[in-house]
Structure formats: structure tokens, C-alpha cells
Chain A
Amino acid sequence: MSELSRRKFIAGTAVSAGSLALSGGLMAFKEPQHLHPTSDTDTPRAKYDIMQDVAKYRKLDSHVHVNLASTDAEVQKKYAESLIDYSRRLQVQKLVLSNPVTRLINGVPDGSPEAFIRNNNIVLAVMKLYPEVLTGSFTFNPVHAKESMDEIKRCVDQGMTNAKVYYQTKINDPSYYPIVEKMIDLKMIIHCHAEVQIGVGGYRMKYNGFKPKNVSIPEDFVDIAKRYPEAMFQYAHIGGGGDWEYMCKALKNSPNVYVDTSGSNNEEHLVDFAVAHLGEDRVLFGSDNCYYQSVGKILASNLTETQKRKIFFENFNNILRKGGRNVD
């Protein structure tokens, strides 16, 4: 029996398994009796084909990385194959790759221009391997103002779509101001790593979370977004392990801050909560390379069809369209 026909067969029998249990024919499965429904109610179980549901939506991954741990071209090439495998398996039309500098040197983030230029070069190289599926965002460190500006120009010229920054500098640090203004001109979103954890980034610091001090927290986004209402910010990965209720509540009244749903955490109700607080236009699909969760958490939500389409694809595509980088 092929995998597909087996699945179809089980789906087809599931509804009536309760009545089948009475017949001798079922024993042919040699499955333990306790696996069969014992409920005496006749509530039918819906036929649900998850892969069909996965395939139903176009997807644009707003938060996904190349291999963050390697500068080796061969390693990156192999990793790119896994990204393509993901895009096919879960029907993701486009991946916006990034390679922020995550490396710590004695606990301090590496903020050198050499590091961000090297990292961007890796993304640019990987993008070229599968240009129909992969595009990329550029990284920099705003304390190196000139180098950052030069880098932005270089990367935009080579087709990158937006900015991706990390924890070298807080998003509302004055060093960001000229960069934000540049991004306003480019009509591109600034995607910044973000966290909410007690003891991180200035939030209840008596609980030391032992993280770099410049990790951006929602209050930092609220601050910069208020200063630059015409700029667009992407608050990274509300599924990244932090307190997503706090995040969404804090960002509620900042209409130019978007969130992506990526991250390894996929708490039930996370996506619903985000849409309830931020509206259906400010929530973006992303995986942060946690592929199953990224799709599962949205399919499992109570969002409408329209809302799911917006989150999987349209919201981020509308943002990219402003900068002329939309994918359709």
C-alpha cells in the first residue's frame, strides 16, 4: 500500500471505526483494541488533510536564515538545499534570508563592519543559488554609520529587500536615526531581533538572563516607532521563546510595528492573540528555520481564510511592494 493510499484508506474508515469495531473484519488490522474509539457518542470525526491545507496557501517567509554558524561556501550550499527542501515540502514560494552577526566575543556581540559585510556576502551568494525562491535582507551595525550606509546601498543594489539587525545596538539608539531615515527613503522594513524575558534588555533586571545588554525589547520598538511613524519595523519572532502576550500588548498602539510569528515556540493561541491585539494586517509569517511550527501554528489558529492568506503571504508582500521588491 502506498503512503498516500494508506492515508486515504484510514481517513475513509475513521468515521465509522466505532461501528466497525463490532465486526470481526477489523481484527485484520491487528491493532490493539484500545486504539479504537470507545466513545458511545456518534460525533463524526472530520476528514482533515493537513497537507492539502498546507498547500492551499501561498507563503512568504519573512524571517529565515542561511546557516548562521558557518562561513564555508560548501556548508552554505548544502544548507541552501535544505531550505529549498523546506520551501517545496511546505509550499513556501519565497524565503527572505538573512545572516545577522550573532557571534559573541567574550560575551559581547561582534559589531565590526568586517563581520556584517562578510555575513551579507554569504546571503548574496546563497540567493544566487536559487534566485526564484531565495531573496535576502542585509545586516549592519549603525554605530558604524558610514560603513552601514555603504553596505545598505551595496546590498539593495544587488536585489536585497530589507534590513535585518541584531543585538549589537538597541533599535531606538540615536545611532539608528540616520539609518531609519535611509530606510524610510527606501520604503523598506527594518527587521530587528527582539526579546521579552525577565532579566533581559532592561526588563526586571534582578532576574539576570545573562544576555547582551542591548537586546531590543518592545518598549524600544514603541519608542523608535513613535519617533519615526513613517518607518516600518518588524519585531522578530513572537514565537522565539519570549513572552508573546507582553509583546503584543506592548506593541498594540504602534501601528508601524509588525511582528513575525516565527520561532521554535508554537503555543496554541499565539497567532490568534497576535491578530486580536495587532489586527490582521500587522502579523507576518516567518519560520526562523523552525519549519513545522511556523506553518502549524497558523493552520491551527482560528483565523479566517482571508486572515490566513494575509499572514502567510499578503501582509509581507504588501510591505515589499512599497520598496518595489514584491514577489508577485
Chain B
Amino acid sequence: MLIDINAYVGNWPFQQMKYNTCELLLDRMNKFGVDISVISNLNGIFYKNTQSANEELHQEIRSARKFSDRFIPFAVINPIYAGWRDDLETSVKKMGMRGVRIYPKYHDFGITDPACIELVKRVRDYGLPVAFEYRMVDSRQRSWMDIDYVVGTTKREWNLKDILPIVKAVPDAKYMILNYANAAVLTPDEMNLVKTADLIFDTSGRTITNMSEFLKLYGTNKFAFGTHSPILDYLTGQLRIESLQPSEADERVKEQLRSGNAKKMLGLS
């Protein structure tokens, strides 16, 4: 079984996206053997009022049974925008959202802003995961209208060290850290935090140049299949798992990566 923990529908305003509706993504899943996808609405990154994006996603998934059977929706919540507590409750209780994606850079707040901490705690209290991204796109090909966290400048792209402070602030929440980019040398404390926290990375990010080494470094329970679709190609995240040699990962470990770790994170059994 294959569960993609990092996919989207919706638009990226600076470049045309293919396969960015439930229908098109489902075609992709069927073509390449993906059973279930965790999805959120890209529009939520750009709408000031993210709840409109959550409503769009909810309606799209509800529009056909084949969608609600194969997609796990995540809400996008901005905790420094009015009404977000109501939005979170509505998303979880009325719309069946199974987690929350948080965009500190796009929504412009610090990752340990009290509002962000409160949001993570509230999601934790629902028993659901929160998801943070290293980045959405490579800053070197960014549009002039995109955020200005840029490689080579003093306001660089994020690495894991930039995300860990929230894990430290709310160590008992569930975390999905997505689109692994930019290497960072962790201190022993930071590494310990990654290992002890309920935290997984997905396999879509470019910094995972050798999957086997990442499994050795963080543990086989720390990764789950992810595509970052429709922004990144649909197969590379899968290739990182399937091209592991038997000496590097046996079938049991591969199943963990394909779906086992994701199921645990998402509360599926």
C-alpha cells in the first residue's frame, strides 16, 4: 500500500500546474500505484482568509465518492488571521480535515509566535498532525512576487534548524516535516528532539540524495512516502523508496516507508 503524505490541489500563482485537481491527481495516483493521498489546497497559502481554500477543498472532495475514498484532506490555518480558531474547529469537526498545514513564511509569522504555538497545541489536542514545509519551491527560480527567503542572501531558505523550535516548544504534538531541503548539522540535542518527537519527513525533498544514508541517520520510522505534487514530479519520492537495495531496506522497512509510518501518523489502522 502506498500513501502519499504530501500532495496538493489548487493553483501556484507563479507557474502553471498540471494535475492540480482531485480528478487529475487521482489519475496520477491510479497510474502510478498510489492508494491514498494527503492533500491540501495550495490556494490556502495565498488567500488571506485560508478558510475559503479549505471550503473549496472540502467541496471538491465531496463532489465524488471516489475522492472521499482516496483523499485525506488537511486544512490550511493561519493563526494570526481573524477567526482561525473557529476555522480550525469547523475544518476538523465539520469538514473532516485530518491535519493542518501551517505556513509561517507565507503567512508571515515566526514559527514560535505564541499564535503558532497555540495552533499546534490545539491540533495536538485533536490528536491530529501539523505539517510544516522546508520550502514550496526553489528560491532560485522564484517569481519576483514570491517570498524572499533566498539562497545566497542573509534571509536564506529554511533548513531543519529553523523548524525544530516549534517541535521543542510543543514536543508532544505530531509533526510532518515536508519537502526536505537544505542540509544542516544538528546538535546532539536537536537530533535527540527529532528522534524522540512524533515526527516524520516525507521523501519528496531534494536534499535526500541517498535514501539509505538518511534512514541510517534518522531511523526508518522517520520517513514516509511523499511527492510534493503537483509542484514536483510524481515519481522521484517513490523512487527514493523503491530503489533501495535489499541490503539497505527489507520489505518490512519498505512497507513502513510506503504506508506504515504514514498510517501511524494519520491515525489509520
Contacts and interface: CB of A to CB of B under 8 A. Distances in A.
A204 interface: yes
Nearest to B80: A204
Most buried by A among B48, B49, B51, B82: B82
Interface string B32-55: 000000000000000011011000
Most buried by B among A245, A250, A253, A277: A245
B233 interface: no
Nearest to A277: B83
A15 to B, nearest CB: 33
Does more than half of chain B's interface fall in helix, strand or loop, or is it mixed? loop
A252 interface: yes
Does more than half of chain A's interface fall in helix, strand or loop, or is it mixed? helix
Interface in A180-214: 204
B251 interface: no
Given A218-B82, A252-B86, A246 B48 contact: yes
A218 B83 CA distance: 11
B81 interface: yes
Interface string B63-105: 0000000000000000011110011000000000000000000
A245 B108 contact: no
A245 B49 contact: yes
Nearest to A207: B108
Contacts of B49: 245-246, 249
Nearest to A196: B82
B160 to A, nearest CB: 26
A204 B108 CA distance: 9
Contacts of B81: 246, 249
Interface of A: 204, 218, 243, 245-247, 249-250, 252-253, 277
22 contacts: A204-B108, A218-B82, A243-B48, A245-B49, A245-B52, A245-B82, A246-B48, A246-B81, A246-B82, A247-B82, A249-B49, A249-B81, A249-B82, A249-B83, A249-B86, A249-B87, A250-B82, A250-B83, A252-B83, A252-B86, A253-B86, A277-B83
